[in-house]
Amino acid sequence: MGLFIVVSYDIVDDRRRTKVFKTLEGFGAHVQYSVFECDLKPEDFERLRKRLKRLIKPKEDQIRYYPLCKSCVERATVEGIGSITKVGPFKIV
């Protein structure tokens, strides 16, 4: 496991939100409406942040990154449908 990052976002504009969504699809697993779980190498995490930063308007939008340590990920639970993402690092193209 690399860096396990939970990414949540609130993007006002539909077009920008779609671009953010499509970018995140290449880096992690879509687990809720505006939430992704990503298992990334440090350099891929930086690449993701740079890409997303170019897509948003900071005065209107927000993206939050929550890094979780290995033991935090192992203790995470889900109520209802779904499970914590247990995939290896995504390949960035």
Q: How confident is the model at residue 90 (pLDDT cuts 50, 70, 90)?
A: very low
pLDDT digits (tens, 9 = 90+) for 34-67: 999 999 999 999 999 999 999 999 999 999 999 9
Q: Considering the chain, what is the average pLDDT of its residues? A: 89
CB proximity list for 55: less than 8 A, separation 6 or greater: 16, 19, 20, 23
CATH of domain 3-70: 3.30.70.240
All structural domains of the chain with their residue ranges: 3-70
- Does pLDDT of 88 surpass 60? no
**Cα(first)–Cα(last) distance of the chain, in Å?**
19
Q: Are 17 and 11 in contact (CB under 8 A)?
A: yes
